[in-house]
Chains A and B, each alone.
Chain A
Amino acid sequence: DQQVKQNSPSLSVQEGRISILNCDYTNSMFDYFLWYKKYPAEGPTFLISISSIKDKNEDGRFTVFLNKSAKHLSLHIVPSQPGDSAVYFCAATHRAAGGTSYGKLTFGQGTILTVHP
């Protein structure tokens, strides 16, 4: 049962244009969402996160949007740069019974972003 899904295995974008990476989740208990970027032979690097009490969070060229009713989030990168080429993982975490967070990240399968010069 895949609770976090990234349905696009890959995305190709021209430099300077917008990259939009999508992520869907099924577990309504998830209350915090993160995006990680991963280069080959390196560990994932934290990019940006959003709490379920917000619908948008922005950090420089990166913006994450959350649509709770649709259980959908997206990462926008504007403008895209060749150095953004990497695998992008969406991740979610949730509160355990009793109201405290579990601390466990559930990852999507990842989307390979290629930004062409």
Chain B
Amino acid sequence: DTEVTQTPKHLVMGMTNKKSLKCEQHMGHRAMYWYKQKAKKPPELMFVYSYEKLSINESVPSRFSPECPNSSLLNLHLHALQPEDSALYLCASSQVQFSSYNEQFFGPGTRLTVL
């Protein structure tokens, strides 16, 4: 199984809503990532979890709250988002974080629209 799955595929939320994005992988990878991608731009790293612990936070606003309940699951909790947060949110995983030679596998993404 070389797949990273993400749910939901699409999400529309108001600025006062609370919602969560979910990501799952069963490749035994111990590093998991959240990226944000705006139209016609490259993916931008948001968070990295290594062995279920938050390793990197790229100065992301606190309205985005990541969570890694176990080695296979990664969540992104959303609260009080702004319309400019509308984007494709990508989850990725790799065998480990601290290695030059391991590729990141991406999920299909969640298309988020904030009204």
Contact = CB atoms under 8 A, between A and B. Distances in A.
Interface string A59-101: 0000000000000000000000000000001000111000011
Nearest to B10: A41
B103 to A, nearest CB: 5
Contacts of B96: 103
B71 interface: no
A43 interface: yes
Nearest to A30: B100
Nearest to A2: B42
B56 A95 contact: no
Interface residues of B, number: 30
B43 A107 contact: yes
What bracket does the count of chain A residues touching chain B fall in? 20 to 34
A41 B108 CA distance: 7
Given A44-B43, A104-B56, A109-B41, A34 B111 contact: no
Contacts of B103: 34, 46, 49
A110 B37 CA distance: 12
B59 interface: no
A44 B99 contact: no
Contacts of A49: 101, 103
Interface of A: 31-32, 34, 36, 41-46, 49, 51, 89, 93-95, 100-105, 107-110
Interface of B: 4, 6, 31, 40-43, 45, 48, 50, 55-56, 90-92, 94, 96-101, 103-109, 111
Q: Which 6 A-B pairs rank lowest in CB-CB distance, beginning with the nearest? A: A107-B42, A43-B106, A103-B97, A101-B100, A32-B100, A46-B103
